[in-house]
Chains A and B, each alone.
Chain A
Amino acid sequence: MFGKKAGTEELEAFYPIRPECVAEIPKTRFKPRAGKTLSARRWQAAFSETGCLDIAKVLRRIQRGGIHPSIKGLVWEFLLGCYNPNSTLEDRNQLRQQRRERYSMWKTECRNMVSVIGRGNFITTPIITDDGQPIEVEGCRVTSAVSDKKVAQWMLILHQFGLDVVRTDRALAFYEDKANQAKLWDVLSIYSWVDDDIGYVQGMNDICSPMVILLENEADAFWCFECAMRRLRENFRCSTTSIGVQSQLGTLSQVIKTVDPQLHKHLEDLDGGEYLFAFRMLMVLFRREFSFLDALYLWEVMWAMEYNPNIFWSYEQPDGASDSNYGQLNQKMLKQYGKFQRKNLETGYADKNNALAVFLVASVLETKNKQILKEAKGLDEVVSILGDITGNLDAKKACQEALKLQNKYLKKAKRP
């Protein structure tokens, strides 16, 4: 698996690119590295006889070299907290079955309202008017006026992500197949029905797409996406005056102000004090700055660094689980935390907007600090300078830089 030629060629077979698009997308830097990347063999060896997973071992690998594409989906389910590493294989099979049934139930519920769901097709134009009157759309008919507010709200966004689905990862051969586009659309439909508080906001398609590709079973893809959204959904929460990600932008501003006041001042002078130029990076976790495979690599390294062994229970029983106290943790338990999370525990710094992604943006800004100070005379130039990272950033190194910056920030922020 890690032979000399196991490089790019073999990798491309996992997520083939349409030949006509090869020139337009950032090149992939990720390469599986022996002794660093989590391989299928290592992964299997990390399970006990009953199927409990030695998460500490796995985390160590992922933080050093990502996950081999052949097992990404399976590992992500653990990283994102879909499954408890201390559970047995049987526990998990049972839970998987329950979740598949629950998904199927929701899907039926949705299909009873909008017949196109689950039919390998989807819509890109509205099916009802703003006041709930049905609009004739080919292949999908709403039979009567919709008065229920939740139903109407949901129906009104279905075409929105239809428009986005056709524009998602088009360079990948995977989405040449309409059935796969429909799979992405179906997952987003069910999600927006179940999480009506968030519904759908542009960008969620970019988060969902890798799950749909990595996990063949649609219900499994849904649950993996659902877990990813647990940590991201606040970013997508919209009110009439703000979008959730702005709190992370606020934290970013705080971090830069603390570690590099001169840069912060310069950005403020350019009318960039709100850091809107970093909006997309945080919202879709750098998907647009990296090739598909590199974005996956970045995500898994980030999630491994952010890993918290209580994650599964905090999702299953939100009221019951509580974070452990640093003092009560022994060395063995500490190893079940990712590096980033461990640092937060050590310093007792708990802020939910304090995601690794924020420090990642901050460290990217820091690497470009001289150029921004010297050359950027407008926000467009800030964006274009930051655009240089596209295809030029190594995910692991970037995360390590982010950790260093987190360290620096925590030290400075602590001082009065």
Chain B
Amino acid sequence: MAHRVDHEYDYLFKIVLIGDSGVGKSNILSRFTRNEFCLESKSTIGVEFATRTVQVEGKTVKAQIWDTAGQERYRAITSAYYRGAVGALLVYDITKRQTFDNVQRWLRELRDHADSNIVLMMAGNKSDLNHLRSVSEEDGHAVAEKEGLSFLETSALEATNIEKAFQTILNEIYHIVSKKALAAQEAAASASIPGQGTTINVGDESGNTKTACCST
């Protein structure tokens, strides 16, 4: 296994993968980071990590993706899991209705544990198994709309929409961060004008582009 020793990136974004057991989280991760799909994949124990560096509007963004076990009992380590996460991909399996019904449970967990500004996307995975489908794409869209999430149907096996799902999340995070950075710059600039009466609170995550939004 080779290690990239360069650390030349403008941003590091931590993204978490969540969803029930067996919906394909680990294969989504391996498809995105290594362009691999493993038919013999095993259940995830604890936490696994992988990264990929992509370009977003001319900036180099390193996506550090955390993958975890789907079993509910593993939620005990969530605080470490969500700490510093700026994006989440919530996955269900279009052939298993219950994994879709459980989306509500995952959203609740996100509300309880994740940063309120986390960028969220829902993915209905295994779209290659259309003949076994038990959740229609419309149902997916309806929930996404109601909850205000981006939504795509994906297939890690056929590499459908995996890139797009992550690109969408990363773009959105980038926009939020660059907007914040811009606001901070403006705030800093106006604050430095003598005579200006208002004190502008520059949030702790603004200003430093290198570490803004970063977990590590």
Question: What residues of chain A have their CB less than 8 Å away from a CB belonging to chain B?
Answer: 21, 24, 124-126, 160, 163-164, 167-168, 170-171, 199, 201-203, 205-206, 238-243, 245-246, 270-271, 274, 276-277, 279-280, 283-284, 288, 375, 377-381, 383-385, 387-388
Contacts and interface: CB of A to CB of B under 8 A. Distances in A.
B211 to A, nearest CB: 12
Nearest to A245: B46
B45 A202 contact: yes
B71 A160 contact: yes
B76 interface: yes
B215 A276 contact: no
Interface stretch (B47-55, B159-167, B198-206): B47-55
Interface extent on B, as a size class?
35 or more
B45 A385 contact: no
Contact of B5 (A164, A274, A375): A375
B84 A378 contact: no
26 contacts: A24-B40, A164-B43, A201-B74, A202-B69, A202-B73, A203-B45, A238-B74, A240-B75, A240-B76, A241-B76, A243-B77, A246-B77, A271-B83, A276-B46, A277-B49, A279-B46, A279-B77, A377-B7, A378-B12, A378-B216, A379-B49, A379-B64, A380-B50, A380-B51, A383-B48, A388-B1
B28 to A, nearest CB: 16
Given A170-B40, A239-B76, A276-B77, 5 more contacts: A279-B45, A279-B77, A380-B51, A383-B49, A388-B1
A173 to B, nearest CB: 13
B105 to A, nearest CB: 10
A238 B75 CA distance: 9
Contacts of A126: 98
A279 B47 CA distance: 7
A253 to B, nearest CB: 13
Contacts, number: 103
A383 B67 CA distance: 13
A53 to B, nearest CB: 34
Contacts of B3: 375, 381, 384-385
Q: Which of B21, B22, B41, B73 has the most CB of A within 10 A?
A: B73
Contact of A288 (B1, B21, B45, B84): B45
A55 B75 CA distance: 42
A276 B69 CA distance: 13
B74 A202 contact: yes
Nearest to A135: B98
B141 interface: no
Nearest to B20: A163
